[in-house]
Structure 1
Amino acid sequence: MGTKSAFSWITLWASLLFTVILGFSRLSYGMFLPGIQREIGGSYGQLGILGTVNFIGYLVGTLCLPPLISRFPERKPVINRLSCFLLGLTMIGSSFSQYFIQLGLWRFAIGLFSAIATVLVLSITLDAVRPTERGVASGLIWLGGSAGILVTGLFAPLTIDPSHLEGWRYAWAAMGVFGVLAAFGFEFVTAKQASAKTHSPAESVPQDQEHVNVYRLLLSPRKLLFLIGSYFFFGWGYIIYFTYLIPYLVGKGIPSLYAGLIWSAIGFAGLFNGWIGGKAIDRWPSGYTLASGLTLGTIGAIGVTTNNLFVTALGAVVIGLVSFITPPLMTTALLRRHVPDRAYATCLSLATAFFASGQIIGPIVGGVGGERFGLQFGVASSAIFMAIAATLAGLYGRQQRKQEVRHFPL
């Protein structure tokens, strides 16, 4: 079966699924945090722990996926189908939470299913796209996450304003219903591809050999370790920013409409990020390209320290434009270029586990810092970890350059 253009129905439905997987299920939590606190209670530190619980589920999902794929290599569409449908249903279920622990259990389940769906939706879609267009396809898929942020920002008057105590519940339920519909759409467009798929000789490689190759690729300082390290620290930094930005703005007395517009501006800028980042990584497939976006994102995160609403909003837009979607999609595309086809889903899953580990640590660090030194400090601390991510991406780019010189001596 021939590969498709990046602009195809499968990419469109994958992007709609990422609206749910990233924008709705994961990042909407930071947007809804003030409303959740008013109704369920708890400090921002405690509610940050629920964000950590979500990413513990995310980590469990990424670690469970490689053995599942190794054991059932032909069942990826089935596993993806179940995870996508269950993700939508658990989001609906979470909207009925009445207690702190109850919401935590739902957040864990959402993290579990979103992790599996993240890897498999990307893997299934990129397998169907021409190799030269996979960067663009990655950008279009991750663009869905930006669309999800834009939409949740528009919900702000309903979810933040104290006059709508249960607004966050209605919003989450609606998002879950959308997730189920998107799962149906993706299943429909991939049904023919799944039925026409043939076995590849590479899939018959013994499991042990595949695992050895995967860990050598990811953890060797001469191969992908710096790229994976950058992904880890990006997860740590960006999740602090997205978890505590809205609580910080609300705490400063910013009207809910304005806070929501700033959030939506991040998502709107991210719509261009997906396109720009995808084209950039196809043209310049280098760690330096990744480092550039992360550096600008670091500068954007520092904007919150100015105590100026305009500068804070401008910094948020910069993050949305160059360093929200860019690192995941570029990491995805770089892995796809340098990892054998048979090991890609496993490598992406393990890389996502490092990303998830950073996201587990981030809400705790941001919450503790916010309670001790104020939410402004908590949000601004994200810049430290994004700067580390940028440095590691630059080191990966330098490593790539050295390898190119070795392969093409003068």
Structure 2
Amino acid sequence: MSTKSALSWITLWASLLFVVILGFSRLSYGIFLPGIQRDIGGSYSQLGMLGTVNFIGYLIGTLSLPPLIARFPGRKPMFNRWSCLLLGLAMIGSAFSQQVIQLALWRFAIGLFSAFATVLVLSIAMEAVRPKERGAASGLIWLGGSAGILLTGLIAPLAIDPSYLRGWRYAWAAMGAFGIVAACGFEWVHGRQRSGRTLSPAESVSRDQEHVNVYRLLLNPKKLLFLIGSYFFFGWGYIIYFTYLIPYLVSKGIPSLDVGFIWSAIGLAGLFNGWIGGRAIDRWPSGYTLAIGITLGTLGVSGVTSNNLVVTALGAAIIGLVSFITPPLMITALLRRHVPDHAYATSLSLATAFFASGQIIGPIIGGVWVERFGLQFGVASSAVFMAIAAALAGWYGRQQRKQVEAVSGASRMKGKGAEVDDEFGL
């Protein structure tokens, strides 16, 4: 398969799929929560648990995918095709839920299929992009999630206004249909670009050795453990914010149009985030770059404590601009740099499992705090975990710098005049 530039048809269709995979299937739940509660009942704690159920499905999906890829290495396109199609159908099915239990089952299925689709779409699309442009390509793909947030914000009045009791149902059905169309488009483009490429002897490593290497790489404190830890705590923190922000604003009596504006501000700013973050990680592929984005996002989350609509909206825009999709896209790009090609899909899937674990814990802890201390405290608590994520990303950047300095020192000791290959881009 010949490599393409970051801006190509395959990244475009991958981005459209991420509108559904991230923006519609996962994050739209937060904005539809008030409408769902009015329609089918349940407390915020119970409905917050549905977010946990969704991410349990997501975690199971990320843990199931590596052995599937190892057992059927040539079936990634087939797995991706069915994952994307079933995701769209599950979203349509969820629109017909009449009880919390029914919706929970659909949310589990959506989490499972979106986990497969997240890893496979990224893996397939990134394989088709030139290595030096993969950060930018990652940004273009992940900004689809921001576009999904923007679109759900525009239809927020239909989902939040009490006069539109079933608005969330119509929205999810339409979103699922869009997902099926995007899946067909991605499959068509990938089918045109696919060739009969066979694995070289160097790539044909044993499956057992591949898994051992992946786990050693991801869980070694001297390699990628702090990067993965940052991903875990970011998932924990950001999902609390996205789950309970809209219910908090509604509880304050803010008009549905203004609520939609704040949600759309996250998505609109995120459209620039994909481009900025992708370019930044190509230029400075470092944990420090990641830490800066998460730190600014932590400050944005803190805006909810001001009790001021303008400050809260500004904080939401900051989150969208610098930290909504920055961590996933940057970690996608960093892993692509430091993980062998044959192990990338497995590595990304396992890293996503840590991310999903944080997202499982987040709604549980957030729901307990919301019930005990109120919605504002629950939303603001996400800043604590995002701050931990920023600190771990910074520590990973420090490790990178130390390794570069060690390599440079060893090169000077050997009297080599050639410049050291700056593997980490520092």
TM score, norm. by length of structure 1: 0.99
In 1, Cα distance between equivalents of 2:61 and 2:134: 24
Does the Cα contact within 8 Å between 1:139 and 1:274 map onto a contact in 2?
yes
What residue identity is the alignment partner of 2:334? Answer: L
Larger Rg: 2
Aligned CA distance change for structure 1 residues 109 and 202 (closer, same or farther; 3 Å): farther
Q: C-alpha root-mean-square deviation of aligned residues, in Å? A: 0.7
What residue identity is the alignment partner of 1:402? Answer: K
In 2, Cα distance between equivalents of 1:252 and 1:370: 14
CA drift of 1:194 comes to 3.1
Paired position in structure 1 for 2:78: 78
Does the Cα contact within 8 Å between 1:87 and 1:114 map onto a contact in 2?
yes
In 1, Cα distance between equivalents of 2:293 and 2:13: 26
Paired position in structure 2 for 1:244: 244
Deviations 1:55-95 (A, max 9, x none): 00000000000000000001000000000000000000000
In 1, Cα distance between equivalents of 2:138 and 2:19: 14
In 2, Cα distance between equivalents of 1:2 and 1:32: 42
What residue identity is the alignment partner of 1:213? Answer: N
Give 3-state SS (helix, strand or coil) of 1:73's partner. coil
Paired position in structure 2 for 1:219: 219
Paired position in structure 2 for 1:131: 131
In 2, Cα distance between equivalents of 1:378 and 1:300: 15
In 1, Cα distance between equivalents of 2:370 and 2:252: 14
In 1, Cα distance between equivalents of 2:56 and 2:368: 18
Give 3-state SS (helix, strand or coil) of 1:201's partner. coil
Paired position in structure 2 for 1:284: 284
Does the Cα contact within 8 Å between 1:73 and 1:203 map onto a contact in 2?
no
Paired position in structure 2 for 1:350: 350
CA drift of 1:195 comes to 4.0
CA drift of 1:208 comes to 1.0
Query: Any residues of structure 2 matched to 1:89-108 within 5 Å, and which?
Result: 89-108=89-108
Runs of 4+ off more than 6 Å: none
Q: Percent same amino acid at aligned positions?
A: 81
Q: In the alignment, is residue 197 of structure 1 matched against residue 184 of structure 2? A: no
Paired position in structure 1 for 2:176: 176
In 1, Cα distance between equivalents of 2:122 and 2:407: 30
In 2, Cα distance between equivalents of 1:201 and 1:341: 13
Paired position in structure 1 for 2:324: 324
Deviations 1:179-238 (A, max 9, x none): 000000000000033343332334421111111100010000000000000000000000
Paired position in structure 2 for 1:45: 45
Paired position in structure 2 for 1:5: 5
In 1, Cα distance between equivalents of 2:374 and 2:16: 36
Paired position in structure 2 for 1:88: 88
Does the Cα contact within 8 Å between 1:77 and 1:194 map onto a contact in 2?
no
In 2, Cα distance between equivalents of 1:23 and 1:12: 16
In 1, Cα distance between equivalents of 2:222 and 2:376: 38
Paired position in structure 1 for 2:360: 360
CA drift of 1:110 comes to 0.2
In 1, Cα distance between equivalents of 2:142 and 2:98: 32
Which is worse superposed, 191-200 or 204-213? 191-200
Query: Any residues of structure 2 matched to 1:382-397 within 5 Å, and which?
Result: 382-397=382-397
Paired position in structure 2 for 1:164: 164
Which is worse superposed, 188-197 or 254-263? 188-197
CA drift of 1:266 comes to 0.2
Does the Cα contact within 8 Å between 1:59 and 1:112 map onto a contact in 2?
yes
Paired position in structure 1 for 2:419: none
Does the Cα contact within 8 Å between 1:277 and 1:326 map onto a contact in 2?
yes
Paired position in structure 2 for 1:256: 256
In 2, Cα distance between equivalents of 1:199 and 1:347: 19
Which is worse superposed, 379-388 or 198-207? 198-207
The count of residues paired between Structure 1 and Structure 2 equals 410
In 1, Cα distance between equivalents of 2:3 and 2:385: 38
In 2, Cα distance between equivalents of 1:239 and 1:268: 19
Give 3-state SS (helix, strand or coil) of 2:317's partner. helix
Unaligned 5+ segments in structure 1 are: none
CA drift of 1:2 comes to 1.9
What residue identity is the alignment partner of 1:175? Answer: M
In 2, Cα distance between equivalents of 1:216 and 1:159: 46
In 2, Cα distance between equivalents of 1:248 and 1:22: 22
In 2, Cα distance between equivalents of 1:198 and 1:377: 55
Which is worse superposed, 65-74 or 196-205? 196-205
Q: In the alignment, is residue 24 of structure 1 matched against residue 27 of structure 2? A: no
Query: Any residues of structure 2 matched to 1:265-284 within 5 Å, and which?
Result: 265-284=265-284
CA drift of 1:399 comes to 0.2
CA drift of 1:283 comes to 0.1
In 2, Cα distance between equivalents of 1:367 and 1:312: 21
Give 3-state SS (helix, strand or coil) of 1:408's partner. helix
In 1, Cα distance between equivalents of 2:104 and 2:44: 14
Unaligned 5+ segments in structure 2 are: 413-426
Paired position in structure 2 for 1:299: 299
Give 3-state SS (helix, strand or coil) of 2:194's partner. helix
Give 3-state SS (helix, strand or coil) of 1:368's partner. helix
Give 3-state SS (helix, strand or coil) of 2:2's partner. coil
In 1, Cα distance between equivalents of 2:20 and 2:215: 30
Paired position in structure 2 for 1:403: 403
Give 3-state SS (helix, strand or coil) of 1:196's partner. coil
What residue identity is the alignment partner of 1:249? Answer: L
Give 3-state SS (helix, strand or coil) of 2:6's partner. coil
Does the Cα contact within 8 Å between 1:23 and 1:146 map onto a contact in 2?
yes
What residue identity is the alignment partner of 1:259? Answer: V
Does the Cα contact within 8 Å between 1:63 and 1:350 map onto a contact in 2?
yes
